[in-house]
Amino acid sequence: MDRVFRVGEEEVYALRDVSLNLDHGEYTSVMGPSGSGKSTLLNILGLLDRPTKGTYQLENDDTTSLSDEDQALVRRDRIGFVFQFFHLIPRLTAAENVELPLILAGIDPKERKTRVTQALAVLGLKDRARHRPDQLSGGQRQRVAIARATIMRPSIILADEPTGNLDRHSGGDVIEILENLNKSGISLVIVTHDPALGERARRNIIMTDGRIISDKTRDPVL
């Protein structure tokens, strides 16, 4: 597929002839220089953006023909996002931030409460539930964001430079959490600058100028 942006008179190809097939439960990293189209690819995978040309099938459903409203529902139920800048709502507590997708889905308060408590506990945030984002460290904020991304039990997690704003130590924690989620069967796509991080994924994609120039899958035995 292609993704072309119009900037004034010019056309910018953020993605050019990209063709990609991800398996269930796969752990993929996307690397490449800045401006190479990594985020654009991730946004399309997450249904935040549509390809200008080509189609995108998620679990055998063609998503390109879905309306915006239906795409939102797919995002809600099957896709989890983790961003570089966390994107927590500052006036809500950690628990309330995590609860948001459940509210959007219209799940009743009692079930919401148990699921949020559980999710926070799994990520070691039990006693941070009532804290607001500005009372949390970067690593804790990203863990809240991960709890939010996983609360709807999605089939795929998309992380755009999830450690880009974290120190080495908490970045390592976050990657470990994401990898554990992947081990439980959720597909994982991580966009990163850091080669060391990228190497950890089983499948490594490298992009330049909107094209995939390398796509290697490591032998599971190794």
- Applying CB under 6 A, which residues contact ligand ADP? 5, 7, 12, 14, 32, 34-40
The helix/strand/coil state of 30 is strand
CB 190 within 8 A of CB 26: no
Q: Please, which residues bridge with residue 156 across strands?
A: 79, 187
Among 33-41, 108-116, 168-176, 208-216, the segment contacting Mg ion (CB under 5 A): 33-41
- By rule CB under 8 A, what string of x and - marks binding of each residue 83-112 to other proteins? x-x-x-xxxx-------xx-xxxx------
Maximal CA-CA distance, the chain: 54
DSSP 121-168: HHTT-GGGTT--GGGS-HHHHHHHHHHHHHTT--SEEEEESTTTTS-H
- In the bound state with ligand ADP, the residue whose beta carbon lies nearer, of 45 and 125, is 45
Instruction: Output the six-digit token pair for 137.
Output: 């460290």
Q: Which does 14 bind (CB under 5 to 8 A by kind): Mg ion, other proteins, ligand ADP, none?
A: ligand ADP
**Does 156 participate in binding other proteins (rule CB under 8 A)?**
no
Cα–Cα distance for residue pair 60/98, rounded to 1 Å: 29
- In the bound state with Mg ion, the residue whose beta carbon lies nearer, of 32 and 101, is 32
Structure letter (DSSP) for residue 63: -
Cα–Cα distance for residue pair 221/210, rounded to 1 Å: 31
The CB-of-109 to other proteins minimum distance in angstroms stands at 9
Q: Which does 220 bind (CB under 5 to 8 A by kind): other proteins, ligand ADP, Mg ion, none?
A: none
The CB-of-177 to ligand ADP minimum distance in angstroms stands at 23
- In the bound state with ligand ADP, the residue whose beta carbon lies nearer, of 33 and 124, is 33
**Does 39 participate in binding Mg ion (rule CB under 5 A)?**
yes
**Does 51 participate in binding other proteins (rule CB under 8 A)?**
no
The residue ranges that bind Mg ion (CB under 5 A) are 39
